[in-house]
Amino acid sequence: MMNQINKISQEILAKLPLFRLKDLIRAVRACKTAAEERAVIQKESANIRTAFKNENPDTRHTNVAKLLYIHMLGYPAHFGQMECLKLVASPKYADKRLGYLGIMLLIDEKTEVLTLVTNSLKNDLNHSNMFVVGLALCTMGNISSSEMARDLCSDVEKLMGSSNTYIRKKAALCALRVISRVPELHENFISRSKTLLNDRSHGVLITGITLVTEMCQQYPENVTIFRKAVPLLVRHLKNLASAGFSPEHDVTGVTDPFLQVKILRLLRILAKNDRDASEAMNDILAQVATNTENNKNVGNSILYETVLTIMDIQSEAGLRVLAVNILGKFLSNRDNNIRYVALETLNKTVGIETQAVQRHRNIILDCLRDGDISIRRRALELSFALINEGNVRVLTRELLAFLEVADSEFKQGMTTKISLAAERFAPNQRWHIDTMLRMLKLAGGFVREEVLAGFIRLVAQTSDLHQYTVQKLYAALKQDISQEGLVLASVWVIGEYGDVLVGSGNFEEEEGGVIEVSDSLVVKLLESILLGPYANQVTREYVMTALMKLSSRFSDSSAQAKIKELLNEHTVSMEVEIQQRAVEYTNLFSYDSIRPAVLERMPVPEARTSIDHSASTDSPSVGHASSSGARAGPSDQDLLLDLMGVGTSGGGGAPDQADMFSQPPAATSPPSQPKASNADLLADLFGGGSLQPATSSPAPATSNSLMDLLGGEIATTSQAASSPSTKYGLDSLAGLGQALPSSPLSSSVESPGTPTQSNQAAVSGYEAYTKNGLTIRLLPSRDRSNPAIINIQVLFSNNGSKGVISSLQFQAAVPKSQQLQMMAASSHTVQPNTTEKQPMRINNPQQTTVKLRLRISYEVGGEKKDDIAQYGPFPDGAF
């Protein structure tokens, strides 16, 4: 029975016009589906349009109210804009309030009807009723356009000096809108804003401080003007901090925390980089930091703003320590938001007060085990920032323990940062190797190529630990072959130092077990990797090259036979590169006279300087520039091969994973004898003529044998030195990334990185930068062996006017169509009246205009300088 009554009543409501807002709301709520709601809204909108056309002033208020409700539901209501303007013109306060509400909802600053509102606003701004003035100010503060702001600026400025606190508060907020729309009008409100800062009303004071803060942030020149108000603001803050209970402003036991936060923010802006202003507020900041309770959110918000203010101004050292201790207390809070804020702030302040942050190291490390991933991420960043020479062992041990259970998304970044920290702060090389081994065991599948290359370089450079390292890697590889990074590093080291491993015999593990070592067991281990479920093409390339290396290091005939068998099986591999490598290695067994020389150990790698493939003059950031002292990258030889499209990964990455074993050491030559251009060597090996004149000394017989093996001929115009000990590298014919070795040639062959003498004599360099006694000149010359390469000698001169120039760091960026390689500088300190040099090379295959974006950082007279300069293009005929 009741259902039938409800249904009949809904039908009656649907047929009758809805005269009241309550009726419309009831009808909308009674709708069961969206279609029913749309039908009700459409019908009522039609009724409202009809009523608007009849222009009945008695129903206008109700119709606009219903229309605003329809607008709030998301339906079109723009046809009521003019009716809102008519309500604003009404003398009744209720009509004005609804009209201004409609204007704020239905009109924005881009609507043409807004121009009709300006006159109504101007009239109401001068109204005798303060609530009508407040409505006009509120509306203007929400929808004012730039034209309206210019027209009514003087009225708003006058109202800021009103005797009524309600109007002053509204006028200050309206002035914020005026400034944001017409910035140049901010000067009109400066004098009025000063008076607002001395207001007794908390409402007026908080709006005045907000206005002053906005003006100082947008226009830094105003900071000097308002800095005189620092003692006044300090007095306000002191009164709030020491005030007793005030029911009107109390929020959970704290007096007006909103005003305190606003004052602290403005003080932070006014006292930045100003010693006197900072000293004036040190006492009150200490008082607020010590007396504010931290058991409720309002107190924590004030403490947080206090900490930010202390860290931004030139505060005392004790005050900074107090601020860090407050953040340390935040870390023990149960609220994740507070802990997150604390970690984020400590990340910003760790460079300022490192020792104070170090005291909270344990609780920071505890955050690594927090359930919130954002907390763990911030704690991880902070933990890496805390590492130094004194705590590197402890922190690295904790980070490695976290690495074992960390999320997968963390592991790659962690392995990179752990390797960088170990490289920078390692107490000794054995600890460094142990740390890298532990990291490879835990997250070898997440290690980047650069990290792997750095570890391989470390092992190669640490000759006294070769036996220790190869034994550790061999034992790790027997336990786990699922970690790709561990497998690649272990295979590389075993391939290079397998004779050291076998020669040392069986060894005892840390757990007490004995690991057996023999030629056959090593080959069997490598075979298990090839046949294992984790092997990919890169792994197979590494293992095959390691087996080939071991064929010249092992003397066991059964191991030799097994190596040949494994290589022969891969001569029919479906992977073309594997098949080609296997065929070449198998053929090499027919040349026993040169095989040991070809498979010699690689030379100790040098520190690498990065090649930037994406540096642009538009973005000279560190990530897009090549730094002389920061990172390492390919050698000249790798650069030339990369530019010619033969191989290297470039960009400061790892050595090529496929061919890194095949590269033998370059034959040594006297220091006075320059090395041959790699371009010449490549031309000789692939049957081309020499690009430069060279001596015609006869080639050794071993080189002819190698060329027969590879199916090529060696040119007689550029031969290697006659020493029979000269080693040649086995290069994959497909160019799998092999970096061919340099070979000593005649002294008449000029190094590709050396400018010609005629250029050096004719040009003293082009000035790119001069300041603070430092002058940087660029001396360009085109490379003889490759016209696309430009060699530039960077000359750093110190005229002595400012004394010694130290910590010199020079970075450069080139357009994306070019590639840049920078070598190490002769010195990072330039003495008075001396010149230091730094070579760099630009590959410009498209022959585009050479432009350089330079970043120069140095210390002179006890001050650190950091400048950015541009140079280019070079004059015609410069190179």
Q: In the 8-state DSSP scheme, what is residue 645?
A: T
Strands (E), 533-650: 611-612, 626-627
Is the pLDDT at 747 greater than 80? The verdict is: no
CA atoms within 13 A on the CB side of 590: 9
More confident residue, 57 or 135: 135
d(CA 71, CA 69): 5
Nearest to residue 175, comparing CAs of 161, 85, 257, 124? 161
pLDDT tens digits, one per residue of 564-610: 999 999 999 999 999 999 999 999 999 888 888 899 988 887 765 43
| Residue 458: its H or E element | helix 449-461
The listed CATH number (3.40.190.80, 2.60.40.1230, 3.40.50.10860, 3.30.300.130) that belongs to domain 757-871: 2.60.40.1230
Higher pLDDT, 811 or 245: 811
CA gap 185, 182 in Å, rounded: 6
Give CA–CA dist 216/193, Å, rounded.
12
- The label of the residue with tokens 């007026």 reads 204
Average pLDDT over residues 662-672: 36
Neighbours of 439 (CB within 10 A): 26
Which of 304, 291, 357 minimizes the C-alpha distance to 333? Answer: 304
8 Å CB contact between 90 and 60: no
Looking up tokens 């400012």 gives 802
pLDDT bin (cut points 50, 70, 90) of residue 17 is low
Q: 3-class SS at 192?
A: helix
Distance of CA 505 to the CA centre of its chain: 48
- DSSP annotation of 842: E
What's the CA angle centered on 136, arms 135 and 137, to 5 degrees?
A: 95
Percent of the chain as helix, strand, coil, to the nearest 5 = 55, 10, 35
In three-state secondary structure terms, 797 is strand
Distances from the Cα of 638 to the Cα of 580, 738, 751, 858, angstroms: 22, 9, 15, 30
Q: What is this structure's pTM?
A: 0.60
Q: pLDDT at position 751, please?
A: 33
pLDDT of 646 > 50? The answer is no
Between the CA atoms of 539, 542, 544 and 548, what dihedral angle is there, to the nearest 10 degrees?
-170
Mean pLDDT of 120-129: 90
Alpha carbons 856 and 776: distance in angstroms, whole number? 10
Tell me the C-alpha distance between 396 and 365, whole Å: 11
Q: How high is the pLDDT of residue 3?
A: 62
Q: What is the pLDDT of residues 38-57, one digit of tens each?
A: 999 999 889 888 888 887 77
Token pair, residue 713, equals 């001929």
Asked if residue 81 lies in contact with residue 117, where contact means CB atoms within 8 angstroms, the answer is no
**Would you state the structure tokens that stand for residue 238, as one six-digit string?**
């002191």
Q: Angle 295-301-302 (CA atoms, 0-180°, nearest 5)?
A: 95
Banded pLDDT at 628 (limits 50, 70, 90): very low
pLDDT category, 308, cuts 50, 70, 90? Answer: very high
Per-residue confidence at 19, pLDDT binned at 50, 70, 90?
low
Residue spans of the domains in the chain: they are 632-752, 757-871
pLDDT mean over 321-341: 90
What pLDDT score was predicted for residue 7? 57
Compute the mean pLDDT over every residue in the chain, rounded to the nearest whole number: 79
556 beta partners: none
Measured N-to-C along each axis, helices 373-386 and 392-405 cross at an angle, to the nearest 10 degrees, of 160
Phi first, then psi: give them for residue 460, nearest 5 degrees: -65, -35
Q: What is the mean pLDDT of residues 73-90?
A: 88
